[in-house]
Amino acid sequence: MTVCSHILSDRSASGGRRESGQMSIEHGLLGDQSQATFSFTDEDHTLANSLRYILNQDPRVTFCGYSIPHPSDARVNVRVQTTGDPAREVLKDSCQDLMLVCQHVRNAADQAVMLFKSKQGVESMDIK
């Protein structure tokens, strides 16, 4: 399961444990849910930069950035500050948007490969 899928799913079943590829709220004010820092384990710039880009497109986001505490540490911290909406909900929405973008890119690539193969006379191959 991808990190974005984990964020969108119900996390109460994990009993608060952090497993590989999961997210936890590392910093945040209990009274102010409009800002928080989320820590993603087993992730790197690939997810963090994509998520940062999508988050910064959201008009509810006033600040978003990420850092990797140490190059040998497979952990990414993503800071989200909003105009008042809960940062966790904005993050969930952005993960949903990122998954849709990835699905669109995958579908477009698959169609381009099928078109190329049909023009070249190559038989269809299912690659997963």
Query: In the chain, where do the E strands start and end?
Result: 23-28, 35-41, 61-67, 75-82
Q: Which residue has tokens 């699905």? A: 103
pLDDT of residue 31: 75
Among the residue ranges 26-35, 57-66, 104-113, the one predicted with the least confidence is 26-35
Tens of pLDDT, residue by residue over 21-53, are 566 655 665 678 999 999 999 999 999 999 999
In the chain, domain spans: 3-120
Which uninterrupted H or E stretch holds 118? helix 87-120
Was domain 3-120 assigned CATH 3.30.420.40?
no
Tens of pLDDT, residue by residue over 91-105, are 999 999 999 999 999
**Are 78 and 37 contacting, i.e. CB atoms less than 8 angstroms apart?**
yes
